[in-house]
Amino acid sequence: MSFKPANSIQDLQYFGEFGGVNPSISDSSTYTFLSAKTMFDTFEGNADGCYLYSRHSSPSNLYLGAALAAMEHTETANVTASGMGAITSVMLQLCNAGDHIISSRTIYGGTYAFFKNFIPKFNIETSFVDITKLDVVEAAITKNTKVIYCESVSNPLLEVADIKNLAKIAKKHGLKLVVDNTFSPLSISPAILGADVVIHSLTKFINGSSDTVGGVVCGSQEFINALRNVNDGACMLLGATMDSLRASSILKNLRTLHIRMQQHSKNGMFLAEKFEAEGLKTVYPGLKSHPSHQLFKNMMNTEYGFGGMLTIDVGSLNKANALMELMQHKNLGYLAVSLGFYKTLFSAPGTSTSSEIPEEEQKQMGLSDGLIRFSIGLDADIERTYGVMRKCMLEIGVLKA
Ligand SMILES: *Cc1c(COP(=O)(O)O)cnc(C)c1O
């Protein structure tokens, strides 16, 4: 099946109250009912189309959720106040005290910290494994395991998860496969490959303008209903709700995601090839040298490319810091965490976004001191960008003349 996620987004039509080409923003926290009976039914979850209170759902949030569900080819979706709001709600919904999670060991630092430091207080244990080794994943399953958790393309090492085969393992053992697809929107469609739940931090590529945090959970109607249940739903009760104004602005940005991803990928591929040719240790899923290049190719929706994330290893933290400062000085991008902005962003994950991971474990997973993570921007003239970057690298001694 050849799935066209951008078509699915484009084909949705919503109009505003007065025929506006964008849906009206529902600027209300609460909603009136004509009859008390309907209010009661809504609380019981039996009044389709009625709104109750905006922590539960709001028209603006449902519009954005519908578009993201269309993109991920799931029945429905629920938007949240942040990516972490989505991840923590999903895991607390799926796991009870005594349950066990198998997680990739290379994941977003906040998710790692949640599994390692926070969720054990509810007696939920996590085994961190090399997700690229399917036999290791299967061997880690215990009678208490509930969830296999991974990122399609991992942060920051850009390991690629074999979603199809992980889904097979999950099905065989009655587990849920939860995939964070933040690094590869449009490029990879985890639900098509068998994932049960797909999560995004909307903060990154999907919104793309570094002006808000947001998240989404895409899944079955049954699961999303459970998350929103007024009596025991994690999204409803933990309260990580997106604001309607934000939902409407993210929806407008989502409409250009396909163009932006193509440009991020084009620029990412260009720089990765140049860096590698210069002899820099470069990791980018689009390079043949990437251990999971073929796997990514087999999974991808080809027209969106291999994404905008790449890493280089410049040998030491001092060199990494000097290079990043110089590149910022030359206006090549910003020394900042996060990703998916129009401008290139760079950071040293070991001392920033992955600093939650203890040094010893960073070493084991191959997260070295000199690693720089790039989120490649939408630069119109990437050759010029490369020329200036190369000069910076020569000046810092990362490249030899
Ligand atoms: C940023 C990020 C998150 C967390 O999202 P927030 O919106 O910052 O809460 C989760 N997963 C990945 C892969 C991320 O990059």
Give the closest residue (by CA) to ligand 1 atom 7.
83
Name the closest-CA residue to atom 1, ligand 1.
201
CA 93 – CA 90 distance, rounded (Å): 5
Assess whether pLDDT exceeds 90 at residue 25: yes
DSSP codes of every residue in 163-179: HHHHHHHHHHTT-EEEE
Q: Is 375 in the pocket of ligand 1 (CB under 6 A)?
A: no
- Of the pLDDT bands very low, low, confident and very high (cuts 50, 70, 90), residue 1 is low
Domains along the chain with CATH numbers: 5-254 (3.40.640.10), 258-396 (3.90.1150.10)
Which of the listed residues 68, 80, 84 should we mutate to test ligand 1's pocket, taking the one with most ligand atoms within 8 A of CB?
84
The pLDDT of 196-208, averaged and rounded, is: 98
107 Cα nearest atom in ligand 1: 13
Per-residue confidence at 379, pLDDT binned at 50, 70, 90?
Answer: very high
Contact 208/340 with Cβ under 8 angstroms?
A: yes
What pLDDT, on a 0 to 100 scale, did the predictor assign at position 159?
Answer: 95
Average pLDDT of every residue of the chain:
95
pLDDT digits (tens, 9 = 90+) for 322-339: 999 999 999 999 999 999
Question: Average pLDDT in the 342-369 region?
Answer: 85
Q: Where do runs of H (alpha helix) occur along 59-176?
A: 59-72, 83-94, 109-113, 134-139, 163-172
Q: For residue 319, how far is its CA from the centre of ligand 1 (angstroms)?
A: 27
For 223, counting Cβ atoms within 10 Å of its Cβ (0-12 exposed, 13-18 middle, 19+ buried), the class is buried
What does the pLDDT average to over 143-153?
Answer: 98
Is residue 320 a contact partner of residue 385, using CB atoms and an 8 Å limit?
A: no
Q: What is the pLDDT of residues 35-76, one digit of tens each?
A: 888 888 887 777 677 888 999 999 999 999 999 999 999 999
Q: What is the pLDDT of residue 351?
A: 79
Residue 307 Cβ < 6 Å to ligand 1: no
